[in-house]
Amino acid sequence: MNITQVLEKKIDESKQGERLSIVDNPKGSKKMYIESYGCQMNFSDSEIVASILTKEGFSTTQDINEADLVFVNTCSIREKAELTVRKRLEFYNSIKKDKNPGMIVGVLGCMAERLKEKFLEEEKLVDLVIGPDAYRDLPNLLKQVDDGRKAVNVFLSKEETYADISPVRLGGNGVTAFVSITRGCDNMCTFCVVPFTRGRERSRNPESIVNECKQLIKDGYKEVTLLGQNVDSYLWYGGGAKKDFKKATKDAQENSVSFANLLEMVAEVGSKLRIRFSTSNPQDMTLDVIQVMKKYNNICNYIHLPVQSGSDRILSKMNRGYTRGKYITLIDNIKNTIPDCSISMDMITGFCSETEQDHQETLSLMDYVKYEYGYMFKYSERPNTTAERKFEDDIPNDVKQRRLAEIIEKQQVHSLLHMKEKIGETFEVLVEGTSKKSEEKLYGRTTHNSAVVFPKENYKKGDYVMVEIEECTSATLLGKAI
């Protein structure tokens, strides 16, 4: 498999969804089956939903045939993501008809928020539609369904962060966990549906974040990923949407906590707790974040920094809030402060009016940065976004496809370059489990987020192991413990 295929597979896997379950499954309790699609935030939200329903007497199951309740946590980011969910709904329908007539079907997340009541008209089998800020209302909605009514709650909140709800860790490895720190997004990139499906940006109380991390250490976890649509925009001043910060009292403003402050608080929780964060945003990332990363060894040297395009004209049309020049300055600052920081990106190709010249600028930016990894997409028009309302989706599909192939090919060269550079070096690897290909080998990741496989010997999941890299495939470093 070459890197192009690997990258496509990675993207595909993120779209395929995952069945999530916990082992605890007491006899006689009602059973829920949750499937999640899309971003890490959705997976994290499913853990909140599981926590709320556990209190209602549900346990989880991986067998849809025995489920009383089937939930699908959905993604709207591209049309293809929505089509995947529609296909799953067809599958649930067949299960309901043939094997499990009593099961309740609920749609959660971004598609629920986007389509609201329309979902009930379009998909007759759906009993419950619930947006990302309404999960606390699940017990009430389930009662409505029990009473024979269809139930909908798509209320978007300015305050909800589920700060007090301890997520039930689903289907994880017991070593790495997601911790949500912000919800929503106020950036309004013209191509993006997220501000409409996830609402206004708001930050979670830092104390609850630190406490969750402390509890994770007690439970044996070794790594957390702080999650938000735009983590750099984190700002705690006592609650509320970020846009209302100016209305807060002077005292609240002076005692506010920024993302750099929060990162430092979490880094102090324990030196053996590794910290990652995602997603960063070039227009909001500040130098003090990079300084905190440099200061703490337990903050991983890896930044996912979506760029979307290398052309100033397209960046402006996308309302990204930075220019190519500003982005390059940020990259230079990161590299000057943390020379071995690994950087990945998201890129959209074929956005409205994109010319060959714009495309060449994207390719030349990639040559400048030489990203470690990349997640690359063809532009997909989303209903009600500014791009849909104001611009024409005028790049033919074959042109989008060809440009996508060109950026993927370039990324393949850069990724391989970075892999090969690492041969002969030694890295600390946090072991996350056994290699998928061999029971005799362990799998883990370096601070740079590179996957490493090495012979097991006496090491085990959760260990930090120094591994010398001997060779690489296109996506994995291979080595031995030293």
Cα 37 from chain centre:
10
Token representation of residue 244: 């209302």
Partner whose footprint covers residue 233, from ligand 5AD, ligand SF4, none (CB < 5 to 8 Å by kind)? none
The distance of closest approach from Cβ of residue 53 to ligand SF4 in the complex, given in angstroms and rounded to an integer, is 27
379 vs 454 by CB, closer to ligand 5AD = 379
For ligand 5AD, the binding residue among 380, 386, 473, 474 (CB under 6 A) is 380
The DSSP code sequence of 285-331 is --HHHHHHHHH-TTB-SEEE---B-S-HHHHHHTT-S--HHHHHHHH
Candidates 91-99, 220-228, 263-271, 377-385: pick the segment binding ligand 5AD (CB under 6 A): 377-385
Partner whose footprint covers residue 187, from ligand SF4, ligand 5AD, none (CB < 5 to 8 Å by kind)? ligand SF4
Residue 150 backbone dihedrals phi, psi, to 5 degrees: -80, 150
Which residue ranges make up the site for ligand SF4 (CB under 6 A)? 185, 187-189, 192, 194-195, 229-230, 281
Q: Which residue is nearest to ligand 5AD (CB)?
A: 346
Nearest-10 crossing angle of helices 259-267, 206-218: 30
Partner whose footprint covers residue 78, from ligand SF4, ligand 5AD, none (CB < 5 to 8 Å by kind)? ligand 5AD
For ligand 5AD, the binding residue among 382, 400, 445, 448 (CB under 6 A) is 382
Q: Which helix (H) or strand (E) holds 417?
A: helix 397-421
Of 337, 339, 226, 343, residue with least CA distance to 282 = 343
76 vs 342 by CB, closer to ligand 5AD = 76
Partner whose footprint covers residue 348, from ligand SF4, ligand 5AD, none (CB < 5 to 8 Å by kind)? ligand 5AD
For ligand 5AD, the binding residue among 33, 377, 427, 454 (CB under 6 A) is 377
* Binding flags for ligand 5AD, 183-212, as an x/- string (CB under 6 A): --------xx--------------------
Q: Which helix (H) or strand (E) holds 107?
A: strand 104-109
Q: Checking DSSP bridges between strand 30-36 and strand 58-60, what pairing results, if any?
A: parallel
Handedness of CA 204, 205, 210, 215 (dihedral sign): negative
- CA–CA separation, 324 vs 347, rounded Å? 13
193 vs 273 by CB, closer to ligand 5AD = 193
The distance of closest approach from Cβ of residue 380 to ligand 5AD in the complex, given in angstroms and rounded to an integer, is 4
Burial class (CB in 10 A: 0-12, 13-18, 19+), 74: buried
Q: Which of residues 62-81 bind ligand 5AD (CB under 6 A)?
A: 77-78
258 vs 412 by CB, closer to ligand SF4 = 258
The distance of closest approach from Cβ of residue 39 to ligand SF4 in the complex, given in angstroms and rounded to an integer, is 9
Burial class (CB in 10 A: 0-12, 13-18, 19+), 26: exposed
The distance of closest approach from Cβ of residue 81 to ligand SF4 in the complex, given in angstroms and rounded to an integer, is 14
Partner whose footprint covers residue 185, from ligand 5AD, ligand SF4, none (CB < 5 to 8 Å by kind)? ligand SF4
69 vs 285 by CB, closer to ligand 5AD = 285
3-state DSSP assignment of residue 348: strand
Cis amide prior to 279 (ω within 30 degrees):
yes
User: Rule CB under 6 A: is residue 449 a binding residue for ligand 5AD?
Assistant: no
Token representation of residue 26: 């007491």
Partner whose footprint covers residue 195, from ligand SF4, ligand 5AD, none (CB < 5 to 8 Å by kind)? ligand SF4
- CA–CA separation, 135 vs 366, rounded Å? 40
User: Rule CB under 6 A: is residue 306 a binding residue for ligand 5AD?
Assistant: yes
Of 430, 460, 457, 465, residue with least CA distance to 444 = 430
The distance of closest approach from Cβ of residue 230 to ligand SF4 in the complex, given in angstroms and rounded to an integer, is 5
- CA–CA separation, 385 vs 190, rounded Å? 6
The DSSP code sequence of 5-20 is HHHHHHHHHHHH-EEE
The distance of closest approach from Cβ of residue 319 to ligand 5AD in the complex, given in angstroms and rounded to an integer, is 12
The distance of closest approach from Cβ of residue 372 to ligand SF4 in the complex, given in angstroms and rounded to an integer, is 20
201 vs 432 by CB, closer to ligand 5AD = 201
* Binding flags for ligand 5AD, 105-144, as an x/- string (CB under 6 A): ----------------------------------------
Partner whose footprint covers residue 379, from ligand 5AD, ligand SF4, none (CB < 5 to 8 Å by kind)? ligand 5AD
Q: CA-CA distances (angstroms) from residue 154 to 36, 108, 115, 148, 220?
A: 18, 9, 9, 20, 36
Burial class (CB in 10 A: 0-12, 13-18, 19+), 158: middle
175 vs 407 by CB, closer to ligand SF4 = 407
For ligand 5AD, the binding residue among 348, 429, 451, 469 (CB under 6 A) is 348
The distance of closest approach from Cβ of residue 374 to ligand 5AD in the complex, given in angstroms and rounded to an integer, is 10
- CA–CA separation, 256 vs 242, rounded Å? 11
Residues binding ligand 5AD: what is the number (CB under 6 A)? Answer: 12
Residues that bind ligand 5AD (CB under 6 A): 77-78, 191-192, 306, 308, 346, 348, 377, 379-380, 382
